[in-house]
A and B are shown apart, each in its own frame.
Chain A
Amino acid sequence: MPLIGQSIPRCDAEGKVTGDTKFGGDFYEPGMLFARMLRSEHASADILGIDTAEAESQEGVVGVYTARDMEGTNRHGLIIRDQTVLAETRVRYMGDAVAIVLAENEHIAEEALKLIRVNYRPHKPITTIDEALADGARHIHPKGNVMVEKRIRKGDAKGALRNECDVVVQETFNTQTVDHAFLDLEAGCAEYDGKLLTIRASGQWVHEERRLIALALGVPVERVRIIQPATGGAFGGREDISIQICLGMCALKNPGRGIYMHYSRAESMSARHKRHAIRCRYTLGAKSSHATGPYRVPNVEVDVYGVHTNNNPTGAMRGFGAAQMAIAYEGIIDQLAGKLGMDRVELRLKNLIRSGECVTTRQVIPNATPIDCLHAALARFARIDHSVLNPESGIRESLSAWRLRNYETQAAHLRRGYGVSAICFGLGYGDNFPDTSRARVCFNSQAGLEVYSGAVECGQGVINIIAQIAAEEMGMPIGCVRVTVADTLLTPESGSSSATRQTYFTGTAVKMACAELREQLFDIAGAYFGVHPFEVVIEDGILYNKNDRSQKMSVGEVFALGLRRGHKLEATGIFKPPTQPENHETGLSQLAFITYLFGAHIAQVLVDTETGEVSVERYIACHDVGKAINPQQIEGQIQGGVAQGIGMAVMEEVIFSDHGKLLNTGFTDYIIPTIRDLPQIEVVIYEGNDASGPYGAHGVGEPPLIGTTPAMVGAISDALGIPITRTPATPERIWRVIQQAGTLRQRP
């Protein structure tokens, strides 16, 4: 039975259901020292002095450390290394770390924090985009408050709007700050034995974390070992470094002592980066019969600015920057459909890109499948099995079900609405950023296959994907495969678990390594059988002479024979596909990403116009996943992404005060979906023809979330007949939108 395409239960699940699996916080042992951080109480202030003497004098306090004690760069940052680990002369957000207390127990550490005297000179914090860009605004970083500027220029957008478009729609969209809200709080331990600094804490890219830790602490990178424990969710929230450098600093200063550290939920919320809030001004013009992202737009002009504020730092979160833009481009497409008097689905079917066409940045997409995904989602909407669909009559049937969708509700104050979205997502880092996965394979003494990869397992299931690919490629039972991931001493670098890249990148590297190791087995077995290696096959761990199957050997026998004959029997796979940088002036690139992923969603909601509450009646998500290596895991990823997207659409928002104070620091007031908030999420797995990944597999981590928020917002807008342009559409906001509108238009 082929292993690819099988929903093989997760090999790490048993430890997780019995409680045996150790997460970062589970490594505490009696005798370890506790580290706690002092965090800024101002969002913007100069530090004039820090007096740690009283804290240091407390019984049980082992050390109090500030930036002065840091022997390296004291910097971190995923792309620009401009964040201080411990503040030097200023603090930039309420939650910036200022000092560390290390003590014999947590209580002593906590009390000692209160005895550190920081002399601050506070400034009025900058908490909005407009304040950051205002003339004379205080510079948060030396180069000013515009952190990044990007532009796209394709064709002549201004000219086309002026001269060619019959219809123009304009809208401003505002999205909120969102927290990852993974359950497994930042926690871990460290120890320095005089030679090696070992840190156990959860990140998303152990090798990059090792580099950052070594630079920040001023130790050679070879003297740092990072071991990723089991990780309770990441979603981009562990891409920026958290406790690792502070753990390392405490360990280096106290050789031989175990150091333990964990955040509370409030500290995790206050300290960690968030999903960017954006404001997007959008103008879209179209000819009366025609209408970015997955759409064909010949003339494009985009200007993007990222600005510094004194709110929490922002960074990666599932669909890094993409989830926000999807709300805007789908919202504006819906408005265009309204203005053209066209059905929203038909407008999309007409304008979504097709194979051989190019995305906005002019990269030609050989296998563009958003239309196929939308067809399959519509078929599910009509409750037709899309796999038996006749392409012509089937889509007519689905479309007529869509046109006849039911708006009737049980009561007048309940309104039903339907939303649609399409997804187009570049896999991997793209833009010429070095993007490499490696894998090493060898045999253990029992002739089991050992696979080593630096990939981080943060809950998404990469361990199973690696095991299934390795077993399939080697022709061995999956029970004989053992996967070791994310330990900088044992595993080769495989890039980050982000950008939806691990299945595609590390999956390919594992496949390459196993293909090479299998050839080595064939050489040995071929010589023993007296045939050419091409005539050897392997099935279920047994090698055969394919012309005389009575000649056979187990992998174990071939391995033993190979060792006796001096074969090394190990192999490495390196997958490093190039991409091309964007043109600085135009933002265009022929190969911005190695491949693109497509999908389409349909949401059906019921809005209570008296309370503003939204319930999701139906949710359909279709994604082109290439080949589904493990369909159950794909479903899980899609359902989880949709859940987070529904949260982003209707409830989740990090709220800052005018002083830059994060106001909702716990799950009591930062609300994420419970089991009652979510419907059965109907997953349609579409397997397209892009064969570039391992066995044709893509990745599926981010696209589901990206499609969800716009589909939900579109559904709410449809229910009310009023475009929603600000997320989240909380009950209060919806209620206010209704009040502002006065009366809702009658349903046809």
Chain B
Amino acid sequence: MDNHGQTWHLDFTLNDEHRQLEIDPHITLLELLRMKLGLTGTKGACLEGECGSCTVLVDGRPMNSCLILAAQMQGREVTTIEGLAKGANLHPLQRKFIEHGAVQCGYCTPGLIMAAKDILDHNAQCTGEEFLRALEGNLCRCTGYNKILSAVRDAWRETQTE
């Protein structure tokens, strides 16, 4: 979009780091992450909120970054897939996705992991229904979801017993 030279001062936290940026007020959070900041781990596949590939955490809750403006992140905390592992230590979800063979082409993987993180962080009680609700907004074309579900369940079990 033509912004007539206007910019927006964005002050937010990205992957635990305080950031201040001058941005075009029209761009989405996904565009900011991928095209301006080079954080290409967050994917886009439909750009209309159907596939969940672009899921990031905003103040700890999953959101489709293709549907929110970057400017709306003012004062908020954004976590992307790049912010999940602590150094060489993978997050339990990342480890379990590898172990269970939940990764095939891997394009849906970052979005699914971010969507699943919500359930690990916020659900002490989990029946099958909570897992499905957490993951139903994310499309995967390769796996049939079976191994994704077992990876998420296993990661949830592990984090609950820690």
> Interface on A for B, CB 8 Å cutoff?
7, 9-10, 12-23, 25-26, 28, 107, 180-185, 230-233, 235, 264-265, 458-461, 632-633, 635-636, 639-644, 666-668, 672-676, 678, 680-681
> Interface on B for A, CB 8 Å cutoff?
1-2, 34-35, 39-48, 50-51, 53, 80-82, 84-85, 90, 93-94, 97-101, 103-110, 113, 132, 135-149
Known: A19-B40, A461-B104, A636-B101. A182 touches B141 (CB 8 A): yes
In the complex, what residues of A have CB within 8 A of residue B1's CB?
107
B35 touching A231 by the CB < 8 A rule? no
Known: A10-B103, A13-B98, A184-B107. A678 touches B145 (CB 8 A): yes
Closest 8 pairs (CB-CB, A-B): A19-B41, A459-B105, A232-B107, A16-B106, A639-B144, A643-B144, A667-B50, A19-B81
Among B84, B107, B138, B149, the residue within 8 A (CB) of A23 is B107
Q: With the chains together, A681 CA to B150 CA distance in Å?
A: 12
B141 touching A183 by the CB < 8 A rule? yes
A183 touching B98 by the CB < 8 A rule? no
Q: With the chains together, A26 CA to B107 CA distance in Å?
A: 11
How far does the Cβ of B161 sit from chain A's closest Cβ, in whole Å?
Answer: 22
A–B complex contacts, Cβ < 8 Å, 13 sampled: A10-B101, A18-B85, A19-B40, A20-B41, A181-B141, A635-B146, A636-B144, A640-B104, A667-B50, A674-B145, A675-B138, A678-B144, A680-B146
Q: Which residue of B lies closest to A647 (CB)?
A: B141
- Residue among B40, B81, B144 facing the most chain A CB atoms (10 A cut-off): B144
Known: A265-B48, A666-B46, A667-B46. A18 touches B82 (CB 8 A): yes
Among A17, A264, A668, the residue within 8 A (CB) of B50 is A668
How far does the Cβ of A709 sit from chain B's closest Cβ, in whole Å?
Answer: 14
Add 7 more A-B contacts to A184-B107, A459-B142 (CB < 8 A).
Answer: A13-B106, A265-B47, A632-B101, A636-B104, A668-B46, A672-B139, A675-B138
B106 touching A232 by the CB < 8 A rule? yes
Q: With the chains together, A237 CA to B160 CA distance in Å?
A: 41
In the complex, what residues of A have CB within 8 A of residue B139's CB?
183, 667, 672, 674
How far does the Cβ of A703 sit from chain B's closest Cβ, in whole Å?
Answer: 15
B145 touching A9 by the CB < 8 A rule? no
How far does the Cβ of B79 sit from chain A's closest Cβ, in whole Å?
Answer: 12
How far does the Cβ of A651 sit from chain B's closest Cβ, in whole Å?
Answer: 13
Q: Which residue of B lies closest to A230 (CB)?
A: B106
B47 touching A639 by the CB < 8 A rule? no
- Residue among B100, B109, B140, B145 facing the most chain A CB atoms (10 A cut-off): B145
In the complex, what residues of B have CB within 8 A of residue A14's CB?
90, 94, 98
In the complex, what residues of A have CB within 8 A of residue B35's CB?
28
In the complex, what residues of A have CB within 8 A of residue B93's CB?
17
Among B104, B108, B137, the residue within 8 A (CB) of A460 is B104
A233 touching B142 by the CB < 8 A rule? yes
Q: With the chains together, A183 CA to B42 CA distance in Å?
A: 13
In the complex, what residues of A have CB within 8 A of residue B42's CB?
19
Q: With the chains together, A513 CA to B53 CA distance in Å?
A: 39
Known: A9-B99, A14-B98, A16-B103. A639 touches B143 (CB 8 A): yes
In the complex, what residues of B have CB within 8 A of residue A632's CB?
100-101, 147
Q: With the chains together, A678 CA to B144 CA distance in Å?
A: 7
In the complex, what residues of A have CB within 8 A of residue B113's CB?
17
A184 touching B94 by the CB < 8 A rule? no
Known: A12-B106, A19-B80, A636-B142. A184 touches B45 (CB 8 A): yes
In the complex, what residues of A have CB within 8 A of residue B144's CB?
636, 639-643, 673, 678, 681
In the complex, what residues of A have CB within 8 A of residue B138's CB?
674-675
Q: Which residue of B lies closest to A105 (CB)?
A: B35
Among B2, B106, B149, the residue within 8 A (CB) of A459 is B106
In the complex, what residues of A have CB within 8 A of residue B137's CB?
674
Q: With the chains together, A674 CA to B34 CA distance in Å?
A: 26
Q: With the chains together, A672 CA to B99 CA distance in Å?
A: 26
In the complex, what residues of A have CB within 8 A of residue B140's CB?
183, 675
A675 touching B106 by the CB < 8 A rule? no
In the complex, what residues of A have CB within 8 A of residue B97's CB?
13, 17
Q: Which residue of A lies closest to B145 (CB)?
A: A675
How far does the Cβ of B78 sit from chain A's closest Cβ, in whole Å?
Answer: 14
A265 touching B146 by the CB < 8 A rule? no
Q: With the chains together, A167 CA to B107 CA distance in Å?
A: 51
In the complex, what residues of B have CB within 8 A of residue A235's CB?
141
Q: Which residue of B lies closest to A630 (CB)?
A: B101
In the complex, what residues of A have CB within 8 A of residue B141's CB?
180-183, 233, 235, 640, 643-644, 672
A666 touching B48 by the CB < 8 A rule? yes
In the complex, what residues of A have CB within 8 A of residue B94's CB?
14, 17-18
- Residue among A25, A232, A675 facing the most chain B CB atoms (10 A cut-off): A675
Q: With the chains together, A185 CA to B45 CA distance in Å?
A: 6
How far does the Cβ of A570 sit from chain B's closest Cβ, in whole Å?
Answer: 31
Q: Which residue of B lies closest to A619 (CB)?
A: B144
How far does the Cβ of B64 sit from chain A's closest Cβ, in whole Å?
Answer: 12
In the complex, what residues of B have CB within 8 A of residue A22's CB?
40
How far does the Cβ of A32 sit from chain B's closest Cβ, in whole Å?
Answer: 10
Q: Which residue of B lies closest to A632 (CB)?
A: B101
Q: With the chains together, A692 CA to B114 CA distance in Å?
A: 43
Q: With the chains together, A35 CA to B93 CA distance in Å?
A: 37
How far does the Cβ of B17 sit from chain A's closest Cβ, in whole Å?
Answer: 16
Q: Which residue of A lies closest to B131 (CB)?
A: A675
In the complex, what residues of B have CB within 8 A of residue A18's CB?
41, 81-82, 84-85, 90, 94
Q: With the chains together, A539 CA to B108 CA distance in Å?
A: 39
Q: With the chains together, A7 CA to B110 CA distance in Å?
A: 23
Q: With the chains together, A233 CA to B105 CA distance in Å?
A: 6
B107 touching A675 by the CB < 8 A rule? no
Q: Which residue of A lies closest to B109 (CB)?
A: A16
In the complex, what residues of B have CB within 8 A of residue A667's CB?
45-46, 48, 50-51, 139
In the complex, what residues of A have CB within 8 A of residue B40's CB?
19, 22-23, 25-26
B101 touching A643 by the CB < 8 A rule? no
How far does the Cβ of B162 sit from chain A's closest Cβ, in whole Å?
Answer: 20
- Residue among B105, B113, B136, B142 facing the most chain A CB atoms (10 A cut-off): B105
How far does the Cβ of A748 sit from chain B's closest Cβ, in whole Å?
Answer: 33
Q: Which residue of B lies closest to A231 (CB)?
A: B105
Known: A18-B90, A678-B146. A184 touches B98 (CB 8 A): no
In the complex, what residues of B have CB within 8 A of residue A681's CB?
144, 146
Q: Which residue of B lies closest to A460 (CB)?
A: B104
A639 touching B103 by the CB < 8 A rule? no
How far does the Cβ of A106 sit from chain B's closest Cβ, in whole Å?
Answer: 9
B48 touching A636 by the CB < 8 A rule? no
Among A265, A643, A678, A680, the residue within 8 A (CB) of B45 is A265
In the complex, what residues of A have CB within 8 A of residue B81's CB?
17-19
Q: Which residue of A lies closest to B49 (CB)?
A: A668
- Residue among B139, B143, B147 facing the most chain A CB atoms (10 A cut-off): B143
B136 touching A183 by the CB < 8 A rule? no
Q: Which residue of B lies closest to A7 (CB)?
A: B101
Among B43, B103, B132, the residue within 8 A (CB) of A17 is B103
How far does the Cβ of A13 sit from chain B's closest Cβ, in whole Å?
Answer: 4
B50 touching A666 by the CB < 8 A rule? yes
How far does the Cβ of A153 sit from chain B's closest Cβ, in whole Å?
Answer: 39
How far does the Cβ of B38 sit from chain A's closest Cβ, in whole Å?
Answer: 8
In the complex, what residues of A have CB within 8 A of residue B45's CB?
183-185, 232, 265, 667
How far does the Cβ of A221 sit from chain B's closest Cβ, in whole Å?
Answer: 29
How far does the Cβ of B120 sit from chain A's closest Cβ, in whole Å?
Answer: 15
